[in-house]
A and B are shown apart, each in its own frame.
Chain A
Amino acid sequence: MMTRRDVLLKCAALGSLKLVAPARGLMQALSAFEAQERNPAATQWNEIGPFYKRLAPNVSHLRAPGDPGLPLAVHGRVLDTRGNTLPGATIEIWQADHRGLYDLDGYRYRASLQSDSAGTYAFDSVMPGHYPARVCQHIHYIVTAPGHAPLITQLYFATDPVFDGDPDRNYTRDPLVLSRELIRPVLLSGDPNAIQASVNFEVVLERL
Chain B
Amino acid sequence: MTRARLSVCAALVCGWCATLGAQQLPTEVAALSTPSPATMVVFARTGGVAAAICDDGRLRVWSIPDGSLLRAIELGSRKLDIIAISSDGRSIAGGDHAGAYTVWDASTGAPRMAVKMRFYPMAMVFSPDGARLAIAPVGEPVQIYDLSSQRMLVELQRPIGGSAALAFSPDGSRLAAGDADTAVRVYDAHTGRLLATNSDFVLEPLAAAFTADGKQLVTGGADKITATLDAATGKKIRQSSKLDDPVSALDVSPDGRLVAATLLHADNMLMPAPVIISDAASGRSVMKWLPTTLALGGGWTADGRLLVATSDDKAVHVWRVH
**CB within 8 Å for A50 and B6 given contacts A45-B139, A152-B160:** yes
Q: Are A52 and B203 neighbours in the complex by a CB distance under 8 Å?
A: yes
**Are B269 and A54 in touch, CB under 8 angstroms?**
no
What DSSP secondary structure best describes chain B's contact surface? loop
In the assembled complex, the Cα of A175 lies from the Cα of B80 at a distance in Å of 13
Partner pick for A50 among B3, B139, B224, B267, CB 8 A cutoff: B3
Nearest-neighbour CB distance to chain B for A55, whole angstroms, equals 6
B residues in contact with A152, CB < 8 Å: 139, 160-161
Q: How far is the CA of A131 from the CA of B5 in the complex (A)?
A: 13
- Contact partners of A53 in chain B: CB under 8 A: 182, 202-203, 222
Residue pair B139, A51 in contact (C-beta under 8 Å): no
* B 1-25 to A, binary, CB cutoff 8 A, 1 in contact else 0: 1110110000000000000000000
Complex interface: chain A residues within 8 A of B97 (CB): 175
Interface size grouping (class) on chain A: 20 to 34
Residue numbers in A under 8 Å from B268 (CB-CB): 132-133
The residues of A that contact B267 with a CB separation of less than 8 Å are: 101, 132
User: B1, B2, B6, B119 — which one has the most chain A CB atoms within 10 A of its CB?
Assistant: B1
Given contacts A133-B2, A133-B269, contact A50 B202 (CB under 8 A): no
Q: B251 an interface residue at 8 Å Cβ cutoff?
A: no
Distance in angstroms from A156 CB to nearest chain B CB is 14
CB A105 to nearest CB in B, in angstroms, measures 8
Within 8 A of A (CB), among B153-202: 160-162, 164, 180-182, 202
Determine if A104 is an interface residue (Cβ-Cβ < 8 Å): yes
Q: Say which residue of B3, B202, B246 sits within 8 Å of A54 (CB atoms).
A: B202
Task: Given A132-B267, A133-B1, A133-B269, output 17 extra A-B contacts at Cβ < 8 Å.
Answer: A45-B139, A48-B161, A48-B180, A50-B164, A50-B204, A50-B206, A50-B222, A51-B203, A52-B182, A54-B182, A55-B202, A101-B266, A104-B222, A133-B2, A142-B161, A152-B160, A175-B2
